[in-house]
């Protein structure tokens, strides 16, 4: 084992310089570094993933790379694109350069399991924010029925924070630039993994200089408490207005962080620099939480977006992930309730649940209000006599109070047969599917009758039940609309056309085309996203995004230079023909904008309304380049 004095450097810039010098040879197979024997004999595999999003449970891996490191030297590399079985969002394509088309012939993750396991072996898995990469790998293995993936982990972010407290930022790019290391093409798996391998070597050398001699020492250092920043450190790290010029003037999502790298606010804007400058000037009057935290601002991270709609969706995803304290409205996916009916049981129950399991039960949801859903579940149980008890074997001869109150059909004591009970459950399911007219009319009449008898408390209770049922029926109707919202949104931008593809209420793709040069790509694009099986029902994770897309379509109906067309999944060629015709018309209108005849009324110059597939399309000549897509139902 190397003596500590052999690699001892002080924790000043000299320590950084020597660690950096040691790391520069890590990819050159040059002379061995000064790693202690206990560390030099270990294998570390640095992993980097590119994914379709931020949720391991709902997003997928699209590229994976691994770099094997021993004693500071790169001993092997492995990479592969991965077919995720879903569309790659356009903001991911803009960030990584990986498109859905590039992955059409890539292997699925199942085909990569054995090669990846062989390359990993028994090595320590390293990543920059290892919880993210390992989380995705864990979920991919679980989907394949493999639950034994549990390598030792090392996070280079944690290690850097312990070894170099008080830096302005700990992103891979920031650390690479600060320590003068080399970073290839950013946001691609192999270049990022190679850069992380260099960073790992530098961090290990610095840890060794501070006394670490074994894997146990290194892991204890990375997992230990952070160094407490002094008041002077926090003042030094405070975000200066001069740094605003580093921010883009385009659309994107921004994350405001404090000196401890905690995200305290997430926002979006079509001009990120201007919006952050407004925050720094005190432009958050209606956001008291944000105003209180702005004095702690130390860094701004920006994720570019191709459009304002994409920024809205990305903002919602990031808020769900980070739950920033200064965002006024926070919604975790676990807040969304479902109604579950365990139809596999001999005597099914109806209950409120927060998750959907692959258990062949019938689920309704996700809904936004647990209070409303709870009232509806209580009403349905009482109205149709559905049991609440959790007993497995019925009948068992033990009755409960609900039977005496005539709120349950009594399967526990054999008062009702299995066939009669199932008939009651079927009627309840029919009601939950949205057929509330007869029930609501009956309750309306009951409320009036009770009021006429001056039984006002009972009438008020029926009134409250009616309010909850109507709210629930409206929520069911909105969910059905979202699930059947298939459309292409078209807008003109700077002589190009942007197509936003919406299927089942979700934005699945955005593309920018020249027209008519892009005519040959249109058919393949539409068939890729609209042909095939019906999409899965909207999940709790996608509920916010579906509502955002729906609101975008609804609220943008008076914006200029845009159109939206329904997609008939049963007659896709006809829908493609209508999209072509609309693109032709929009491009002709663009070339003729401002040439309306002198006798044409000004209102007709600015608004033209026509019909296509039963939906009114409103188009307006361009007023500026910030075109947006709208629909008028």
* Per-residue model confidence as pLDDT tens digits over 496-550: 888 888 888 888 888 888 877 777 788 888 888 888 777 778 877 778 888 888 8
H-helix segments, 127-256: 130-143, 156-163, 172-178, 189-209, 215-223, 231-237
What tokens were used for 561?
């230079």
pLDDT for position 596: 44
CB 130 within 8 A of CB 172: no
Residues 420-427 have a mean pLDDT of 91
Residues 291-302 have a mean pLDDT of 88
H-helix segments, 246-362: 272-280, 288-293, 308-322
Cis amide leading into 434 (omega within 30): no
- Between 598 and 516, the more confident residue is 516
H or E element that contains 19: helix 13-23
Residues 169-176 have a mean pLDDT of 88
Per-residue pLDDT at 389 exceeds 70:
yes
Question: Average per-residue pLDDT in the chain?
Answer: 81
Among residues of the chain, what percentage have pLDDT more than 70?
84
Lowest mean pLDDT, pick from 78-92, 307-321, 476-490, 584-598? 584-598
What tokens were used for 16?
């950084």
pLDDT for position 194: 95
Rounded to 5 degrees, φ, ψ at 299 are -155, 150
Alpha carbon distance 159, 154 (integer Å): 8
- Which domains does the chain carry? 4-223 (3.30.420.10), 231-330 (3.40.1440.10), 338-433 (no CATH), 484-619 (no CATH)
Per-residue pLDDT at 66 exceeds 90:
yes
CB 272 within 8 A of CB 302: yes
- Between 19 and 208, the more confident residue is 208
Coil/strand/helix, residue 44: strand
Q: Is the dihedral of CA 587, 591, 597, 602 positive or negative?
A: positive
pLDDT for position 631: 29
Q: For 395, what's the count of Cα atoms within 13 Å in the CB-facing half-sphere?
A: 15
CB 313 within 8 A of CB 507: yes
Residues 258-278 have a mean pLDDT of 90
Give the catalytic positions in this structure.
187
Count Cβ neighbours within 10 Å for each residue of 380-410 and write b for 16 or more, e otherwise. Answer: bbbbbbbbebeeeebbeeeebebbeeebbbb
pTM of the model: 0.66
Residues 50-57 have a mean pLDDT of 86
Alpha carbon distance 83, 104 (integer Å): 7
pLDDT for position 350: 92
In sequence order, which residues have a C-beta less than 8 Å from that of residue 438 and are 6 or more positions away? none
Per-residue pLDDT at 603 exceeds 90:
no
CB 159 within 8 A of CB 203: yes
Across 435-593, the runs of DSSP E, i.e. the strands, are 487-493, 496-503, 506-513, 562-566
Q: Is the dihedral of CA 234, 239, 241, 246 positive or negative?
A: positive
pLDDT for position 333: 53
pLDDT for position 33: 53
């Amino acid at each position: 084992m190397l003596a500590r004095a052999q690699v001892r450097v002080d924790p000043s810039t000299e320590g950084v310089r020597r660690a950096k010098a040691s790391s520069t040879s890590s990819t050159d197979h040059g002379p061995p570094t000064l790693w202690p024997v206990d560390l030099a004999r270990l294998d570390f595999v640095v992993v980097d993933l590119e994914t379709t999003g931020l949720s391991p449970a709902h997003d997928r891996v699209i590229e994976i790379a691994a770099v094997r490191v021993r004693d500071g030297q790169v001993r092997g590399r492995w990479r592969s694109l991965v077919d995720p079985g879903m569309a790659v969002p356009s903001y991911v394509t803009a960030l990584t350069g990986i498109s859905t088309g590039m992955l059409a012939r890539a292997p699925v993750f199942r085909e990569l399991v054995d090669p990846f396991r062989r390359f990993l072996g028994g090595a320590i898995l390293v990543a920059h924010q290892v919880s993210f990469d390992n989380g995705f790998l864990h979920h991919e293995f679980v989907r394949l029925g493999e639950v034994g993936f549990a390598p030792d982990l090392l996070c280079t972010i944690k290690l850097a924070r312990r070894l170099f407290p008080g830096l302005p930022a700990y992103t891979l790019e920031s650390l690479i630039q600060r320590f003068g290391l080399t970073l290839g093409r950013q946001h691609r798996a192999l270049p990022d993994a190679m850069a992380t391998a260099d960073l790992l070597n530098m961090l290990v050398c610095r840890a060794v200089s501070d006394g670490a001699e074994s894997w146990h020492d290194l892991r204890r250092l990375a997992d230990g408490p952070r160094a407490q920043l002094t008041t002077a450190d926090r003042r030094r790290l405070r975000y200066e207005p001069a740094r605003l010029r580093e921010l883009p003037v385009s659309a994107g999502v921004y994350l405001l962080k404090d000196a401890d790298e905690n995200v305290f606010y997430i926002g979006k804007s079509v001009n990120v620099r201007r919006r952050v400058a407004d925050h720094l000037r005190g432009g958050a009057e209606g956001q008291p939480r944000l105003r209180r935290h702005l004095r702690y601002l130390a860094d701004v991270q920006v994720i570019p977006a191709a459009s304002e709609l994409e920024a809205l969706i990305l903002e919602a995803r990031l808020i769900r992930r980070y739950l920033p304290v200064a965002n006024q409205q926070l919604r975790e996916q676990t807040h969304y309730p479902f109604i579950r009916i365990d139809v596999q049981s001999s005597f099914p129950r109806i209950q409120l649940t927060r998750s959907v399991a692959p258990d062949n039960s019938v689920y309704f949801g996700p809904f936004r209000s647990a209070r409303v859903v709870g009232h509806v579940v209580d009403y349905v149980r009482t109205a149709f006599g559905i049991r609440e008890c959790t007993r497995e074997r019925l009948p068992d001869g033990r009755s409960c109070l609900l039977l005496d109150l005539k709120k349950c059909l009594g399967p526990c004591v054999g008062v009702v047969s299995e066939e009669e009970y199932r008939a009651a459950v079927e009627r309840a399911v029919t009601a939950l599917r949205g057929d509330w007219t007869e029930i609501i009319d009956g309750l309306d009449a009951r409320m009036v009758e009770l009021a006429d008898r001056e039984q006002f408390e009972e009438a008020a209770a029926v009134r409250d039940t009616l309010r909850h049922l109507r709210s629930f029926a409206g929520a069911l109707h909105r969910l059905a609309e979202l699930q059947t919202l298939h459309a292409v949104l078209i807008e003109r931008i700077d002589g190009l056309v942007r197509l936003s593809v919406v299927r089942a209420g979700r934005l699945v793709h955005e593309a920018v085309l020249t027209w008519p040069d892009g005519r040959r790509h249109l058919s393949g694009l539409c068939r890729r996203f609209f042909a095939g099986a019906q999409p899965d029902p909207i999940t709790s994770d996608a509920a916010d995004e579906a509502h955002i897309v729906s609101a975008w379509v609804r609220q943008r109906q008076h914006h200029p230079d845009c159109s939206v067309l329904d997609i008939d999944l049963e007659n896709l060629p006809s829908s493609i023909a209508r999209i072509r015709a609309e693109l032709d018309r929009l491009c002709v209108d663009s070339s003729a904008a401002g040439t309306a005849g002198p006798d044409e009324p000004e209102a007709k110059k600015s608004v033209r309304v026509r019909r296509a597939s039963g939906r009114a399309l409103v188009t307006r000549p361009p007023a500026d380049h910030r075109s947006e897509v709208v629909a008028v139902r």
